[in-house]
Amino acid sequence: MLDEYLYGKVDRISPEAPVPVVEISSTRMLLGGAANVAANVEALGDQPMLLGLVGDDDARSRLSELLGERGITSDLLVTDESRPTTIKTRILAHNQQVVRADREKRHELSPEIEKKVVDKFLSVADDCSAVIISDYGKGVITLSLLERIIDECLKRDIFLAVDPKETRFHNYKRVSLITPNHHEAGFASGRRINDMDDLLAVGADLMERLKTKAILITRGPDGMSLFQQDSEPTHIPTFARQVYDVTGAGDTVIAAFVSAVVAGADLIESAIVANAGAGCTVAEIGTATVSVDQLRAELERNVSNGKLVERP
């Protein structure tokens, strides 16, 4: 996806309808969706290979340009002429989002396009240290595609992490890691997370049903909670920080977690790294990447501010 930002100011209401008139002063176009995950992986020193669908349009060209600026190949992108390249346009005034407009089609990919995606994956699978699936519910992550990717990762013992869509939770069985937020986890389990008892019940339920190795539930200002097989849950608290924008925070979380795993960290250490990465991202407006130096500084700040993990 592409994330387009239009910045401006508001000093009047439209005479045509009770809506603000935003006087646009500047624009930005950034990598979004799975492309933002890839950008975060690259910023942390790893080499991502981005696989996904684009349309046959100008936005595809712009996406390829932005990827090229980061040294990320666009060779694995598959063109689907039945859909446009997804663009999310956000209009902001005085650092507040006024409205978002999406240009996209969300139908499931055809068998022919799905085969192209699988073939692209198989062409690079043996070179992968880990795989991240970012499911934004745009029709790309079909059940048959997901099952094929899971089988191939298991065959090769590749760490497979999924940023899930809440309506598809039953599809993510046997993966290495799932990173839902507390709303998505509660929805999937059929129980709203209001307190620690709810959190523990939801985490245990999802671990049992999905047979995954780990679930990292992100909880906004309350931090993150890591559930693992045959282990007590671990809570990673957040540390006080000005929050400007949560856009893209989930992308940073899964990228930082998987990069840490690939570097040799255990799952708790990886969750601490991911928590620090999220802390950096929410302090910026718009989708953002976190450099190694920023991540190191945030980890040092967290260490100095208090206990990094807690047992509930």
Residues marked as catalytic = 251
Among the listed residues 208, 183, 14, 213, the one whose alpha carbon sits nearest the alpha carbon of residue 98: 14
Cβ 210 vs Cβ 228: under 8 Å: no
Cβ 227 vs Cβ 240: under 8 Å: no
Residues facing 206 on adjacent strands: none
Alpha helices in the chain (DSSP H): 34-43, 58-69, 111-124, 143-156, 182-189, 196-210, 249-262, 267-281, 292-305
CA separation, residue 117 to residues 47, 105, 121 (Å): 20, 18, 6
Spacing of C-alpha 310 from chain mean position:
25
